[in-house]
Amino acid sequence: MRQLRTTRIVSLSIAVIGLACLLTADIARAANVKEIRLGVLAFRGPVACMNRWTPTAEYLTNKLEGFRFRIVPLTLKQMEIAVRDNKVDFVFTNPGNYINLETRYGISRIATMKSLDGVAAENHFGAVIITRSDRKDIRQLPDLKNKSFMAVRKNAFGGFQMAWRTLKNSGIDPLSDFHPLTFAGFPQDQIIFAIRDRKVDAGTVRTGLLESLHEAGKINISDFRVLARKSYPGFYTLSSTALYPEWPISKMKTTPDGVSQKVVIALLTMSSDDRAAIKGQYGGWTVPLDYQSVHALFRELNIGPYTPAKELTILEIIDRYRIWVAIFATALILSFGWAIWTERLVKRRTQELSIANEMLVDQMAMRRRLEEQASLRQNELTRIARQNSLGEMASSIAHELNHPLTTILNYVKGCTRRLETGRCDYGDIKNVLSQVSHQARHSANVIKVMMDFVRSDVREREHVDLNEIVHEVAELVSLETENRSIFLEIKDAPQKLNVYVDRVQIEQVILNIVRNAIEAIPQTRGMQGHIIMKTDREDQSHAKVTVTDNGTGIPESIKQDMFTPFVSKKNTGLGLGLSISRSILETHQGHLQVVDTSNEGSTISFSLPVA
């Protein structure tokens, strides 16, 4: 019996020691984990914010070893204070607030949230202006004059400023023409309920909120009328305004670049069916979009970074420099016995104020320069890649233009000599001029191809034959393939492959793949490089482009990660070409894949929906 009791005591002791070791190990691991704070604009309240974005924080925590991400719900004012005081490491907010924080505190966007379907109007959103559907006196925007109106806050981008611009373009100044204009704050749901319950005549909220409350059974969407309703291809929610880029996630100036890069890679590789994307009601993440349309709205309304500088009144100047005024007054009272000393003191104080004013002027000038630089920022990676490709082909372009121009010069010199000697045969002259015209057209065509390719302005999607795009890219790289003795073969589909795409972006995808194929073929004497560009139907609803080369293939070390940003087998490559191509195709509901790779070549293909 005593032996059994001793055995139990020993077993219990061993269990306690083991548990203590486990707890010690867990505490040690927890001590080495760094907390990363992600501030999120809680436009529907802190509870809804935590429910929606906590899975995203958990996703990042699982992806980045040694880091624990925590969601911090914030209002607009709280977010400005948190960014100013470096209380957060990243922020996720609306585009208007992002522009303000970028200008004031130097935050920079690293990724943009994708819409749920990955296609809707290029991942943009807008605002909706609504009233009750049974209001006979409010059918158009001008009918809102002298009516009551509710919005979130004057500095709320989707909750007021989008609608402000639309109302202004319809002849309504919301700051003076509404009686009254009420700002209800977050969450935006209360604005919709106030209109439903006849507490206010009309109001504005961001797009998608009406539909969400209807699906949740909280409202009947038929009880509301959308004013100035607009329709955009691929955008399926009710809208009254122009569309603007979706919310960006941004890093602080103090956030380490290494952490930011890991976060970017984790977000860009998130799939749309991940739990974080489903709970967050979004379709994943893409490279940062262009936010110049937000700058345009701010410029038009004279708000945000474009607010005119306010002139200070005498009372404001006195209030701002009240300490100096008090010192000066005290010195003046005591100046009866110290007249000379006081005069010198005043002169010194005046010089200090002058220096302070000069510093203020310099700071304002620097701020204006920063605002101008911010308005010129173009972070469009597709354009950068396109210009990079163009630079690499510059020598071939120069050679192609040099030949026709030299031919034209020789023809003209020969024609001039004939005219000078009097041996003027009109048939020969006509033939010379025909040759000159042919060479000039050829030169103009080379320049046109280059100009069409390098254009970076925003383009609309259009219906185009995929075969035609393939031929244009083939013409673009023809000089490079000829210089490297590569035979470029095109196998067209027997029928037209009509697709609805952004032509320049799809050209960039094909060019990225073909140029990778060109660079994969070694320049070895006696070896004939061969690239095949083939178009065909993948199935009844999709067209396919396949590029095959007989190069060195893709190394095993990067096969699994070749579509990941910053992964490249080229010493000079950024590793963004295929990642950008995949993002472009995803926004077109397409798919990019590696069909086959070996030491004797590679085959890469992509598909697009047939229009």
Per-residue pLDDT tens digits for 281-309: 888 898 888 899 899 999 999 988 888 87
- According to DSSP, residue 313 is labeled P
In this predicted structure, the answer to whether residue 439 has a pLDDT above a threshold of 70 is no
Global pTM reads: 0.46
Distance spanning both ends of the chain, measured CA to CA: 86
The alpha carbon of 381 is separated from its chain's Cα centroid by a whole number of angstroms, namely 9
* Strand pairing report for 127-132 and 529-537: unpaired
pLDDT-derived band at 378 (thresholds 50, 70, 90) equals: very low
Query: Exposure pattern of 86-120 as b/e (b: 16+ CB <10 Å)?
Result: eebbbbbbbbbbbbbbbbebebbbbbbbbbbebbb
Q: CA torsion sign, 106 to 108 to 113 to 114?
A: positive
The span from the CA of 210 to the CA of 133, in Å, is 14
Residue 500 near residue 462 (C-beta atoms within 8 A): yes
Query: What distances in angstroms separate CA 375 from CA 97, 100, 161, one per listed residue?
Result: 15, 12, 18
- Indicate the CATH number for domain 380-458: 1.10.287.130
pLDDT tens digits along 78-118: 999 999 999 999 999 999 899 999 989 999 999 999 877 54
User: If we measure between CA atoms, which residue out of 394, 603, 403, 611 comes closest to residue 500?
Assistant: 611
Same fold, 127-242 and 461-609: no
Domain ranges of the chain: 1-31, 33-120+247-299, 127-242, 314-366, 380-458, 461-609
* Whole-number pLDDT of residue 121: 43
Round to whole Å and give the CA distance between 578 and 89. 29
Confidence of residue 119 (pLDDT cuts 50, 70, 90): very low
Any idea which of 129-143, 228-242, 426-440, 582-596 has the lowest mean pLDDT? 426-440
Bridge partners (DSSP) listed for residue 73: 40
Q: Could you tell me which of 314, 136, 163 has the C-alpha nearest to residue 228? A: 163
Q: At 447, list the tokens.
A: 């320049």
CATH code that applies to domain 33-120+247-299: 3.40.190.10
Burial of 538 (0-12, 13-18, 19+ CB in 10 A): middle
CA distance 584 to 113: 14
Residue written as tokens 């005069």?
Answer: 343
pLDDT level of residue 241 (50, 70, 90 thresholds) = very high
The CATH number assigned to the domain with range 461-609 reads: 3.30.565.10
Strand partners of residue 226: 130
CATH topology of domain 127-242: D-Maltodextrin-Binding Protein; domain 2 (3.40.190)
- H-helix or E-strand spanning residue 68: strand 67-74
Q: Which of 478, 479, 468, 548 is nearest to 506 (CA)?
A: 468
pLDDT on residue 44:
80
| Closest residue by Cα to residue 515 from 580, 455, 431 | 580
- Residue 4 has what pLDDT? 47
Provide φ and ψ at 545, rounded to 5°: -120, 130
What is the structure's pLDDT at 218? 94
